[in-house]
Structure 1
């Protein structure tokens, strides 16, 4: 979406002309059919929002989002911020009402949170969170009091060891921004589980399925599409391992090959992955997952499923993946399965 679109103050323009793309961000969007489609969809949704009594506030909100968007330096970041903005614009179209079901905006699929608000009065409201971070979870409920700032405030108590936890619920146009003071332990949640974030109203989780591009495992939509085709039905299982994604590094002994490892917080020893790729469209993927059957002596099994589109490597693991063999949970046995 061009700056001219917002500067005009009129929500009736189409998305920007790629023939006139000037900034690095606009050029990245124009170079990707997926990002271009997201931009067009976002423009249409924004046009519907920027009308009526809140038009000026929505224009300011969109300008702030554009500043955030323009800080992205790659397609992965753009896919993530576009995906999350689409969720904001698509939901909560009716009159604002604190009461109801709210969902945290989360492009990763790894840090979801549901917020239920009830018993709203001019003085206070009841809330209940149900959140997760990977395999870890956390719940918190209580009463938040409305202050002179029109935000609702909650402070924990010593009886349930949450005295160092504080939450602020602030309305921002169609959504609620939750700010948290105190870490996961202070608020009585599992490791890494927080309640802060942007929440939108919806009957069910409105977040789109995560993909490798939004998660930062790969850098382009073309790479994401290629791995999706290579793995088939295992693609979703691969995405599900990307709770914590490492920085891409150069593969030892394989010049020009990038290695990205990922795992799920709380079950990292047997739910993890390694993705390798180069600029020529070659891919090597290792996906570890626990299996329901038991091995010899009743030992649990973790299966390493290996995929590649490099014919010469179909029957052998590349060095960076081979180096991670047998690093599963202590009570588990690793079994390798070479995928066709």
Structure 2
């Protein structure tokens, strides 16, 4: 069997498996399905279990995971109340996740999936028999906040019913046998409404005293396609390279209005989009134009401009001119 055919087969297997698992609320017909679809918390747990199921298939194989799932499904179908359904979901998620019940919670845990210039740290300040206190710090660019929460132990996991001073933000923390910590939140209807713009708590967390994530580069962020272009840009902008990386908290493609076949990426820092922003434009031939706007010490904003054909702003491509005029009058 070719690798490509195997990948297609695996994709189809996951597609149909997940479709069969997750409750389709547009076609809910049984009392159980309607109960899940009309309860935000149960609907979130149903979606989380579906995600956990697909991840488990990739790790353990569909035969073993389906056996666990069908055994759990029989228990779920016996439920006739919200409380029973909720506990059944927690039991199923714990089973499919292969939860590590001997997990050591102490220490500082860092979100490894947070974007560049964003992050999250969880510490456990009190560890009792039935509950744990969480201290949470999360940020996205300049947007940041700190939270506390009480979590109860359930099937080897930690469940937060509500993060303090939030609008019904719920968390589920799953300890893994590989030493990592997986966190899920009810972001769509709870946590996202309470977090600063761009801040989220979901992700895989790693134990470390300091941020264990590799230092970001424009290459690792996908802004440049290869090391050749990344090295060329480093040579062009010199010490300003890190400032461009620090501007890439959010980065999106932008139209090449010069119509020269260039790739254009606009980037900015959340919470400072009008004062900490940058743009990079480059062609397959290796031509580069880049601009960065930052605050001046005495007030106001200043432009830092670089190009492979010289750094004369009067020769700036129209794409960069249009970008610059959104922030500077001249």
Structure 2 residue aligned with 1:162, among 163, 166, 183?
A: 166
Contact 1:116 1:127 in 2 (8 A): yes
The yes-or-no answer on 1:131 pairing with 2:138 is: yes
Distance in 1 (alpha carbons) for counterparts of 2:149 and 2:241: 39
Instruction: Determine the structure 1 residue equivalent to 2:110.
Output: 103
The alignment partner of 2:220 has SS state of helix
Contact 1:108 1:214 in 2 (8 A): no
Distance in 2 (alpha carbons) for counterparts of 1:118 and 1:309: 53
Structure 1: runs of 5+ lacking an equivalent? 1-21, 24-59, 66-94, 294-299, 336-340
The alignment partner of 2:118 has SS state of coil
Distance in 1 (alpha carbons) for counterparts of 2:204 and 2:120: 10
Contact 2:229 2:286 in 1 (8 A): yes
The alignment partner of 2:241 has SS state of helix
Structure 2 residue aligned with 1:277, among 268, 277, 282?
A: 282
The alignment partner of 1:215 has SS state of coil
Structure 1 residue aligned with 2:211, among 197, 205, 209?
A: 205
The yes-or-no answer on 1:236 pairing with 2:242 is: yes
Superposed CA RMSD in Å reads: 3.0
- Structure 1 residues 229-257: Cα deviation after superposition (integer angstroms, max 9, x where no partner): 211111111011111111254x2224221
CA drift of 1:136 comes to 0.4
CA drift of 1:323 comes to 1.2
The alignment partner of 1:228 has SS state of helix
The yes-or-no answer on 1:302 pairing with 2:306 is: no
Q: How does 1:143-182 map to 2 (within 5 A)?
A: 143-147=150-154, 149-156=155-162, 161-172=165-176, 173-182=178-187
Contact 1:308 1:314 in 2 (8 A): no
CA drift of 1:143 comes to 1.2
CA drift of 1:279 comes to 0.7
Instruction: Determine the structure 2 residue equivalent to 1:75.
Output: none
- Structure 1 residues 295-321: Cα deviation after superposition (integer angstroms, max 9, x where no partner): xxxxx3211100011249675211101
Distance in 2 (alpha carbons) for counterparts of 1:189 and 1:107: 14
Instruction: Determine the structure 2 residue equivalent to 1:121.
Output: 128
Contact 2:180 2:206 in 1 (8 A): yes
Distance in 1 (alpha carbons) for counterparts of 2:321 and 2:57: 47
TM-score by length of 1: 0.63
Contact 1:109 1:209 in 2 (8 A): no
Change (3 A) 1:246 1:64: farther
Distance in 2 (alpha carbons) for counterparts of 1:312 and 1:201: 45
| Higher helix content, 1 or 2 | 2
Distance in 2 (alpha carbons) for counterparts of 1:191 and 1:167: 18
Distance in 2 (alpha carbons) for counterparts of 1:125 and 1:205: 23
CA drift of 1:108 comes to 3.6
Distance in 2 (alpha carbons) for counterparts of 1:186 and 1:258: 32
Change (3 A) 1:259 1:156: same
Contact 2:182 2:203 in 1 (8 A): yes
Larger radius of gyration: 2
Instruction: Determine the structure 2 residue equivalent to 1:247.
Output: 253
The alignment partner of 1:280 has SS state of coil
Change (3 A) 1:190 1:163: closer
Distance in 2 (alpha carbons) for counterparts of 1:187 and 1:100: 28
Distance in 1 (alpha carbons) for counterparts of 2:158 and 2:223: 37
